[in-house]
Amino acid sequence: MAIVPPHFMTRTVNIGLIGAGTVGGGVLQALRRNGALMASRLGLRLRVERVAVRSLKKKRDFKVSKGVLTADWKSVVNDPKVDLVVELIGGTTIAKDVVLAALREGKPVVTANKALLAFYGEKLFAAAEKSGANLYYEASVAGGVPIIKVIREALAGNRVTHLYGILNGTCNFILTKMNEGMEFSAAVKLAQQQGYAEADPSLDIDGHDAAHKVGILASLAHGFWVKPGEVFTEGITHICPMDLEFAGKLGYAIKLLGIVKISRAGSIQVSMYPALIPDDHVLANVSDVYNGILVRGDVVGDTLHYGQGAGPDATASAVLSDIGDAVLDLKHGATDRLKAFIPHESNGAVRQIGETTCCYYLRLSVLDRPGVLAKVSAVLAKNKIGISSVTQPEGHEGKSVPLILMLHYAKNLAMTKALKSIEKLSSVKTKPVMIRVESLD
Ligand code: NDP
Ligand code: HSE
């Protein structure tokens, strides 16, 4: 059965795919499955003309015709038959050369590379502007969740006052598995096997990948490009099963949470750190590889966006969406309908983390003797931090025992100072574990 009315099919758009690993392989498979459907929706045929990989010797799960596969990405970008380039190799070196070279050729580019955008976004957008070709990057944030389209297009009539996002599938998968009793390292390995993790998984577990993503969302929402160094970032490596258990008993879940929030002074908090969130909040129930983003607009109120945040299929879906946009640009000759990034806030600034305020969970390992709590609370009082609850769980008899304190709202600067003093107390035996508490109000 012919899906595409023949009078529509006057032209074929030839795709040059650079990188055919987890995501690139997923894109090839998805195009094979739904390429004809896409063509019928777009009114143009799609064809994968060339594919560049690093090694021609590797066994592949996909089949391509002879002559399609090459180890020379330049020959793909420069191929006059290639109309559109999809960069899926990752990293910030060769990937940057690929994107810039394609734009210089006047070819639209689709990328899933959040690290590249975070570090070189402004340079790439300037190159796109100069070339007249567009740069699309829906797959760079939240895998299959079309959050970039939501912020850029669907919520264009809103000022985004708050954004809370679970943006790293690997970390969410690891925290979920740890909550079910799996060891951290086993959970990391499983995430790698599923194709969720970055080539260097420390980018995931140290929070940088998610920080790149929250920086991109903050930039789109607030109109000035947020640089990676401006995003306060903490990963999940210090979180123990014990913290997940204590948090659960206190009525919270622990999530690696991105925050973009306008302060009263007008500056924007842009951060990525693990946080305790109320366990009856919808974001607390975003598990496994799923991502969830709450975006609050001043006109629309709260909106929620949910889906798989990593893996070949979910990410391929976002890449295909971008391919669709780029194809429509080519079809209508309107490459700047929606520019890659439109700065619209010249005085935008990121708020220093020390100036931001929240509540805190503090887990100490202390000597089991009288007077310890008094010393800890004296330090907190000196820094004007109030205690809302203290728990010393039973069944931990020994030289040192856990002491869990829930602390009232305080500035991060005050908390950092207090932590330094608490760490020096002779009755505190290991580095304190502090996790911020976010009410998501
Ligand atoms: P992979 O490591 O699985 O794939 C990378 C691909 O790039 C491989 O096919 C590799 O070739 C190829 N490659 C590397 N260097 C070169 C080169 N110099 N010339 C040509 N090809 C090259 O990575 P992923 O698919 O996981 O990730 C790709 C991008 O997508 C990254 O930017 C990542 O951050 C992003 N992303 C990943 C997601 C995921 O769930 N994995 C989700 C969202 C975004 P070879 O196969 O021969 O080694
Ligand atoms: N490693 C990333 C994650 C891939 O786990 O979220 C999707 O961007």
> Domain residues of the chain, as ranges?
12-143+313-332, 147-309, 353-437
Ligand with minimal distance to 57 CA: 1
Protein residues whose CB sits closer than 6 Å to any atom of ligand 2: 143, 168-170, 196-198, 204, 209, 309-310
Q: d(Cα 264, Cα 156) in Å, to the nearest integer? A: 22
Closest CA to 287 of 188, 174, 198: 174
Distance 199 CA to ligand 1 centre (A): 8
Q: What is the CATH number of domain 147-309?
A: 3.30.360.10
Q: Is 213 a catalytic residue?
A: yes
Q: d(Cα 344, Cα 355) in Å, to the nearest integer? A: 25
Q: Which residues of the chain have pLDDT under 50?
A: 1-8
Closest CA to 308 of 299, 316, 296, 300: 316
Q: Which pLDDT belongs to residue 372?
A: 94
**What is 353-437's CATH topology?**
Alpha-Beta Plaits (3.30.70)
Q: Other C-beta atoms within 10 Å of 159: how many?
A: 12
The best mutation among 51, 60, 89, 99 to test binding of ligand 1, ranked by most ligand atoms within 8 Å of the C-beta, falls on 89
Please give the C-alpha separations between residue 68 and each of 1, 78, 79, 160, 404, in angstroms, as whole numbers.
Answer: 28, 14, 12, 44, 60
**Catalytic residue from among 213, 420, 424, 431:** 213
The best mutation among 173, 209, 308 to test binding of ligand 2, ranked by most ligand atoms within 8 Å of the C-beta, falls on 209
Which CATH architecture describes the domain 12-143+313-332?
A: 3-Layer(aba) Sandwich (3.40)
pTM over 0.75: yes
Q: Which pLDDT belongs to residue 5?
A: 42
Ligand with minimal distance to 170 CA: 2
Kindly give the number of the ligand 2 atom that is closest to the alpha carbon of 196: 5
Q: d(Cα 28, Cα 295) in Å, to the nearest integer? A: 32
Kindly give the number of the ligand 1 atom that is closest to the alpha carbon of 116: 32
Q: Which pLDDT belongs to residue 393?
A: 84
Tokens encoding 176: 């979920």
